[in-house]
Homo-oligomer: A and B are copies of this chain.
Amino acid sequence: MEKGRLEAFTDGVIAIVITIMMLEIRVPREHTLAALRPEVPLILAYALSYANVGIFWNNHHHMLQASERVDGRVLWMNLLLLFWISLMPFTIRWMGETRFSATPTASYGVVLMLAALSYLLLEKALAACNGADSALARAVGRDGKAIASLVIYVAAIPLAYVSAWLSMGLYVVNAVTWFLPDRRIEKAGATAKTA
């Protein structure tokens, strides 16, 4: 089965999620900079979420680039990943409207954790579909980075009840570790091409 349509559909969903989040920012009634100030934490949360979704898209791009085929299981794992990504605007809005309370901040961590888990499952499905000898399967191996992310998200969830800012800090730190695309896959993709 060709991968083009899976990519196009994923791009559509992620483009909508990323754009809708920005549209959710409340327009201040007043026309002063001061009126914008109460929106600043929310705008920063949106920027973080934009980065998070952008990271998922970038890594998805690299992973699919290194894949040669997809199957039914890959399609479903991808839909599962998109399900959690499409829940992000909801949790970010809840977090913003309750001024970063514990439960909403933890719920953002839950959604991020489930998205990271689905990404891992998608990676495994792709490796299985492309064969144990494929460039992707060899490149991925035991994906330490994704597992580290999961650990960070799992830690951030209870920490939200200690301090929401501690959780937010972990989300930011984790975003930075995912910021750079997966060099191993990128290299494997390059190798696959030159092979």
Identical subunits present: 4
Q: Which of A1-34 contact B (CB under 8 A)?
A: 1-2, 5, 7-9, 11-20, 22-23, 25, 27-33
Contact: A7 with B5, CB < 8 Å? yes
Q: What's the tally of chain A residues with a CB closer than 8 Å to chain B?
A: 59
Does A22 contact B86, Cβ atoms closer than 8 Å? yes
Question: A94 to chain B: which residues have CB within 8 Å?
Answer: 27-28, 31
Tell me the interface secondary structure of chain A in the complex. helix
Chain B, residue nearest A35 (CB): B103
B contact residues around A54 at 8 Å (CB): 76, 79
Judge if A109 is at the interface, Cβ distance under 8 Å: no
Name the residue of chain B whose CB is nearest to the CB of A8: B11
Q: Which of A57-65, A116-124, A167-175 lines the interface with chain B?
A: A57-65
Determine if A158 is an interface residue (Cβ-Cβ < 8 Å): no
Q: Are B31 and A72 in contact (CB under 8 A)?
A: no
Q: 5 additional contacts, CB 8 Å, given A1-B189, A29-B98?
A: A23-B86, A50-B79, A54-B76, A57-B79, A72-B180
